Amino acid sequence: MLDGKRILLVVAGGIAAYKSLELIRRLKDRGASVPVILTPAAEAFVTPLAAGALANEPVHRDLFDLTRESEIGHIRLSREADLLVVAPATADLIAKMVNGFADDLASTALLATDKLVLIAPAMNPRMWAHPATRRNVAQLLADGIHMVGPNAGEMAERGEAGVGRMAEPDEIISAIETALSTEPALIAGPKALAGRRVIVTSGPTHEPIDPVRYLANRSSGRQGHAIAAACAAAGATVTLVSGPVTIPPPPGVTTVSVETAGEMLEAVEAALPADVAVMAAAVADWRVARAAERKLKKPADGASPMLELVENPDILATVGRHHTLRPRLVVGFAAETNDLVENAMSKLARKGADWIVANDVSPETGVMGGDANTVRILSAEGVEEWPKMAKEEVAERLVAKIAATLDQAGTT
């Protein structure tokens, strides 16, 4: 599908630039033409000669290279491309893109384009985790820019590990293909969510009373885990934040295990930014104000102990109303035993969600802890009723709906 496509590759200055040479080769193998812009810093890592030989055309290096400027012009360079890829996208170039700087050829071409742009960030894990980078990346995602990676792993610096490695060339190519495919996903294919970042919460939370007792609920985590698995199968980068469950973590997903609502909120915030958040956990609404440090004993006088409860933070509402890092699509669940649609509708507004997946958890339905689910999807557009189906099928259909919605948003 890349045959005849023109992919403008911007290479910024980072050690991952060596992988961009491999990316050029693989794009050429697929029949794409690959004009390349090297930033001055990139030239410290790869030579214009090597990049030009692989691309089979001279690379573009300097905004004020007058001969070439008259031949092509940076505006034409980005106008003629079907898609722009920035790989590696350094913290510095990302910051420039956010602010619309145009002080060299790379940043100018990126500002002068109205084409799809895909970034493959690569940097030191501490730079990636820095609030400035997180803010910047969230802004680019909000601007509709696609992103692939970064991955977790060893860094070039000795002894450094964490999230910051550039995605592999094949992953970047998958993300390019997804970005270029205009067909909306009717059923989620293996690449329907490639390049998307998804956070899923799942399971119950346990709120300690004392070291051996806790408040909990009957959630098994099956629906949330199935959604995380389906998102990963559709090519998304998935962080699953799970309360205590007995089912195994799904393959291909980064699972963060937590106990309490407070820990769940912290893990979700740490996983931002994301394109999509699906909050399927049955979070305990209350916790014990002061959990005892030692096991509570029965009072000698036979009196019943009193537990003072305080409200837990609302994770869905925190994400849905986030000022800087709100995902493009925020999906909540509503487990109700009565007045399903009214209760779920009020949650939609109250929690700042785009959709609420509402299900009837009355004991006779067997939903809580069971295999099947009957759901309704509520949104500003109205109510969609889905027939009774396995939780895995609910997950599949939800992922297809998510992919179609993101694709639509990306092309309008």
CB 140 within 8 A of CB 119: yes
In the block, tokens 């910024």 appear at 12
CB closer to ligand CTP out of 61 and 287: 287
Least separation in angstroms between residue 275's CB and ligand CTP is 18
Radius of gyration for the chain, computed over Cα atoms and rounded to the nearest angstrom: 24
Nearest-CB residue to ligand CTP? 315
Which pair of structure tokens corresponds to residue 215? 């408040």
Residues forming a β-bridge with 36: 9
* Cα dihedral 335, 339, 345, 350 in deg (nearest 10): -70
Look at the alpha carbons of 401, 405, 410, 412 in this order and tell me if their dihedral is positive or negative. Answer: positive
Least separation in angstroms between residue 260's CB and ligand CTP is 11
Concatenated DSSP letters for 149-192? Answer: -PEEEE-SSTT-EEEEEPPPHHHHHHHHHHHH--SPPSS--TTT
Catalytic site includes residue 217: yes
Q: How far apart, in whole angstroms, are the C-alpha atoms of residue 15 and residue 252?
A: 26
Q: How far apart, in whole angstroms, are the C-alpha atoms of residue 221 and residue 369?
A: 8
Residue 69: burial class (beta carbons within 10 Å; 0-12, 13-18, 19+): middle
Least separation in angstroms between residue 358's CB and ligand CTP is 9
For residue 2, give the DSSP letter: -
CB closer to ligand CTP out of 271 and 315: 315
Q: How far apart, in whole angstroms, are the C-alpha atoms of residue 157 and residue 223?
A: 40
Least separation in angstroms between residue 57's CB and ligand CTP is 51
- Which residues are at the interface with ligand CTP (CB under 6 A)? 201, 261, 279, 281, 283, 285, 312, 314-316, 332-335, 343, 347
Least separation in angstroms between residue 333's CB and ligand CTP is 4
Closest by CA to 261, choosing from 317, 309, 223, 314, is 314
Least separation in angstroms between residue 296's CB and ligand CTP is 25
CB 202 within 8 A of CB 281: yes
| Beta carbons within 10 angstroms of residue 119's beta carbon | 31
Catalytic residue among 99, 136, 217, 373: 217
CB closer to ligand CTP out of 261 and 267: 261
CB 306 within 8 A of CB 244: no
CB closer to ligand CTP out of 168 and 360: 360
Least separation in angstroms between residue 382's CB and ligand CTP is 19
Closest by CA to 239, choosing from 247, 228, 230, is 228
Residues labelled catalytic: 217
